[in-house]
């Protein structure tokens, strides 16, 4: 296996999808290949093509595909008839995970959280978080932010900003107010001050909130990264107004921005944190809602779900925590590589007068329109690089490479991106805006 992409150029037979899969499918439209195996940063299609993965399951594969340590742990567990499904019964796998979570994640960071195993999807973790905040405070309204993305089930969808997603609800989305995120009105408008003013004003029409729900970096919303100052102030505002602070760390957590949590070292502690995506380490469905023990006022089974204890995910998550997070090297390496990524993206952007966005290994370039972004990602794909867009108009080309990527391979992928941006934005070469 060489370290270069070798894309195939033949679209797969898609009849079975056309006959039997809903047209709601999306990624397979821009990436018309059928994949059969993957390892590390590489994905292989059924026609022998090989692709470098800068999408990483939207940050679900931070440790790459089928990491050997995780894979072996899972193979051993399955071979030994380990419990696969046990509702929320105690299992060895769950105890091991909780112990690893405590040892490797919570205790070293001085965090005292309890873990709630919700249904194994991010949206379920968010639903549980806002339910709990409403239950604890006796209030209904949740403050979410412009461009926030929190999931597709009705409670989480109400917190999501995207109109295309919202319109699928079929009912009005209620009990949530969307306030401007950091920088939303440009660098001169202090949106934390706006929020504070509205909450302090008994006549603003903004009801007292149960929670403020925030992503530190808005992955789907366009890689907007809030400043630590802004986040600290939002944390203070929440506290001052009797609201719980929920950090949705589903995309930005699990190392994507450097630390295990995206809010580490920022001088505030969320009341509730949601995790999913890379939590299992191997891409298995898994989600967690963490909260301060004093908030743990659930009745037994008050929020439940058939798959709320995905034991396979416990196994791989435990392996991932212990393998990657026992020391500080991994975080340091992500931070270092994130700077490298930043420099390259800044250079690519500067060449075309564009701006970059994001933090850590979660960065992108605002290329101005979804059309241009699509031309760029299409050109990348032709060269064997899988990369996607985000943002309100899909105008941000987004690099979400596995965190474990080798610097050279990262560089090779960015070379492809650089060429593709140039092709798209140089009038003589490519598409016009």
Range 117-146, binding a copy of itself (CB under 8 A): 117, 119-124, 127, 130-131, 133-135, 140-141, 144-146
Judged by CB under 8 A, which of 110, 170, 187, 427 binds a copy of itself?
Answer: 170
Give me 312's structure tokens.
Answer: 């396979």
Spatial separation of the C-alpha atoms in residues 422 and 347, rounded to whole Å:
12
CB of 101 to a copy of itself, least distance (A): 7
> With contact defined as beta carbons under 8 Å apart, do 299 and 116 qualify?
no
| Lookup result for tokens 């944190």 | 273
CB of 37 to a copy of itself, least distance (A): 4
The strand pairing partners of 396, in sequence order, are 366, 390
Stretch that binds a copy of itself, among 152-160, 267-275, 322-330, 333-341 (CB under 8 A): 152-160
304-363 residues in contact with a copy of itself (CB under 8 A) are 304-307, 310, 312
218-247 residues in contact with a copy of itself (CB under 8 A) are 221-222
Judged by CB under 8 A, which of 69, 98, 423, 431 binds a copy of itself?
Answer: 98
371-400 residues in contact with a copy of itself (CB under 8 A) are 391-393
270 binds a copy of itself (CB under 8 A): no
274 binds a copy of itself (CB under 8 A): no
Of 3, 67, 14, 29, give the one whose Cα is nearest residue 381.
29
CB of 296 to a copy of itself, least distance (A): 5
- The three-state (H, E, C) secondary structure of 314-366, written as one string: HHHHHHHHHHHHCCCHHHHHHHHHHHHHHHHHHHHHHHCCCEEEEECCEEEEE
> With contact defined as beta carbons under 8 Å apart, do 5 and 383 qualify?
yes
33-52 residues in contact with a copy of itself (CB under 8 A) are 33-39, 43, 46
CB of 143 to a copy of itself, least distance (A): 10
CB of 329 to a copy of itself, least distance (A): 25
Q: Which is nearer to a copy of itself, 173 or 431 (CB)?
A: 173
Which residues neighbour 83 within 8 Å (Cβ) at sequence distance 6 or greater? Answer: 89, 91, 92, 93, 311
181-220 residues in contact with a copy of itself (CB under 8 A) are 184-185, 189, 194, 197-198, 201-208, 210
Q: Which is nearer to a copy of itself, 35 or 268 (CB)?
A: 35
CB of 332 to a copy of itself, least distance (A): 26
Spatial separation of the C-alpha atoms in residues 146 and 162, rounded to whole Å:
8
Of 142, 158, 128, give the one whose Cα is nearest residue 297.
128
Per-residue contact flags (x/-) with a copy of itself for residues 276 to 305, judged by CB under 8 A = xx----xxxx---x-x----x-xxxxxxxx
Give me 51's structure tokens.
Answer: 């692709």
Of 363, 357, 348, 356, give the one whose Cα is nearest residue 426.
348
Stretch that binds a copy of itself, among 22-30, 317-325, 329-337, 410-418 (CB under 8 A): 22-30
| Dihedral, 332, 226, 359, 334 alpha carbons, nearest 10 | 20
68-87 residues in contact with a copy of itself (CB under 8 A) are 71, 74-75, 78-87
Q: Which is nearer to a copy of itself, 178 or 363 (CB)?
A: 178
Q: For residue 24, what are the CA distances in angstroms to 18, 168, 196, 351?
A: 11, 11, 40, 37
Q: Which is nearer to a copy of itself, 24 or 428 (CB)?
A: 24
CB of 27 to a copy of itself, least distance (A): 5
> With contact defined as beta carbons under 8 Å apart, do 179 and 193 qualify?
no
CB of 294 to a copy of itself, least distance (A): 12
């Amino acid at each position: 296996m060489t370290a270069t992409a070798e894309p195939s150029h033949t679209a797969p037979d898609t009849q079975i999808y056309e006959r039997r899969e809903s047209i709601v499918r999306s990624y397979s439209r821009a990436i018309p290949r059928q994949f059969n195996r993957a390892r590390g940063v590489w994905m292989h299609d059924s026609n022998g093509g090989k692709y470098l993965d800068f999408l990483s399951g939207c940050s679900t594969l931070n440790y790459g595909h089928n990491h050997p340590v995780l894979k072996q742990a899972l193979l051993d567990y399955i071979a030994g008839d380990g419990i696969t499904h046990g509702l929320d019964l105690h299992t060895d796998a769950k105890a091991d995970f909780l112990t690893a979570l405590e040892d490797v994640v919570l205790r070293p960071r001085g965090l005292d959280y309890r873990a709630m195993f919700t249904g194994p999807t991010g949206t379920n973790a968010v639903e549980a978080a806002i339910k709990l905040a409403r239950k604890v405070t006796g209030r209904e309204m949740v403050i979410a932010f412009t461009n926030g993305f929190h999931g597709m089930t009705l409670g989480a969808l109400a917190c999501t900003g995207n109109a295309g997603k919202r319109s699928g609800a079929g009912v009005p989305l209620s009990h949530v107010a969307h306030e401007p995120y950091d920088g939303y009105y440009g660098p001169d408008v202090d949106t934390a001050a706006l929020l504070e003013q509205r909450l302090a004003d008994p006549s603003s029409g903004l009801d007292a909130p149960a929670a403020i729900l925030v992503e530190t970096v808005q992955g789907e919303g366009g890689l907007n990264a809030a400043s630590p100052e802004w986040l600290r102030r939002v944390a203070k505002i929440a506290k001052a107004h009797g609201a719980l602070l929920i950090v949705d760390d589903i995309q930005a957590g699990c190392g994507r921005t450097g630390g295990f949590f995206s809010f580490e070292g920022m001088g505030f502690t969320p009341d509730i944190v949601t995790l999913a995506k890379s939590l299992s380490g191997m891409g298995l469905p898994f989600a967690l809602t963490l909260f301060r023990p004093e908030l743990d006022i659930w009745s037994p089974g008050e929020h439940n779900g058939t798959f709320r204890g995905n034991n396979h995910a416990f196994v791989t998550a435990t392996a991932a925590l212990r393998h990657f997070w026992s020391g500080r090297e991994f975080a340091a390496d992500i931070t270092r590589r994130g700077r490298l990524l930043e420099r390259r993206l800044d250079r690519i952007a500067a060449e075309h007068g564009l701006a970059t966005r994001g933090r850590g290994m979660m960065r992108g370039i605002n290329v101005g329109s979804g059309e241009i972004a699509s031309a760029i990602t299409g050109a990348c794909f032709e060269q064997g690089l899988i990369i996607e867009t985000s943002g309100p108009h899909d105008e941000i080309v987004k690099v979400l490479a596995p965190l474990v990527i080798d610097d050279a391979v990262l560089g090779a992928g960015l070379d492809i991106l650089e060429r593709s941006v140039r092709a798209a934005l140089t009038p003589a070469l490519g598409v016009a805006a």
